[in-house]
Amino acid sequence: MPPDPARPLASPLGIIMLDTTFERPPGDVGHASSWPFPVLFEIVRGATARRVVGGQDSDLGDAFVQAGQALRARGAVGIITSCGFLAARQRSLAARMPLPLATSSLMQLPLIDRCLPDGKRTGVVTYDAEALTPAHFVEVGADPSTPVVGLPESGALRGLIERGAAYDAEALARDVLEAAGRLTARGDIGAILMECTNLPPFSKAVADRFDIPVFDIITLGRWFYTGLLQTRY
């Protein structure tokens, strides 16, 4: 069957990946089946999770830009990244990229907050609450007083990413649901945003358990892509 002339042929979204080796199941930013359109991956060597989360990645700017250039050469129409903490580099990296760049799921916060009823706000589940500073929020135009709950330092996600533990979906789900539960217990949370790009596999479980909208890197990437590659009606 020939392609529908009313729909453009899909072009890929580029994803700049950190230098990691852990398992990435469907739903993770780094699994191609997480996306309803083609994606391309480009790894920045030396960009470990701990360096980026800890803000020790300032010397990697050129490497990120080179990854963006490689993605453009391979046909990407826009770029996202695989770590929400790169929100801290949004403006500096976007200014140098050859394509539009959305670094972090945190970029959705101002819009989500404006969609919620009076007295409600968005809460963030993050990989590392101590490392997520007001500067990250300010850089993407979000409220620096946004409520944040971090996953446990001794938990399954830190074990997977930083200690080489095996992927344990049940343990990860328990940690994420516990963090989301602490947020919703505040009483003023109208939506939850997952900072970490490895958490979307658990977004539906959180939405179902707490009957609340949940946003993450996948919702950002889908929104971003619809503007990058429009449909003819």
DSSP letter, residue 19: S
- Quote the tokens at residue 116: 């919620």
Please tell me the predicted confidence (pLDDT) of residue 3: 39
- Domains in the chain, start-ordered, CATH in brackets? 13-104+219-228 (3.40.50.1860), 105-216 (3.40.50.1860)
What is the reported pLDDT for 2?
40
pLDDT in tens, the chain (233 residues): 343 444 445 799 999 999 999 999 999 999 999 999 999 999 999 999 999 999 999 899 999 999 999 999 999 999 999 999 999 999 999 999 999 999 999 999 999 999 999 999 999 999 999 999 999 999 999 999 999 999 999 999 999 999 999 999 999 999 999 999 999 999 999 999 999 999 999 999 999 999 999 999 999 999 999 999 988 89
DSSP structure string for 83-141: -GGGGGGHHHHHTT-SS-EE--GGGGHHHHHHHSPTT-EEEEEES-TTT--HHHHHHTT
pLDDT at 167: 97
Taking a C-beta distance cutoff of 8 angstroms, is the pair 123, 179 a contact? no
Which SS3 state, helix, strand or coil, does residue 151 take? coil
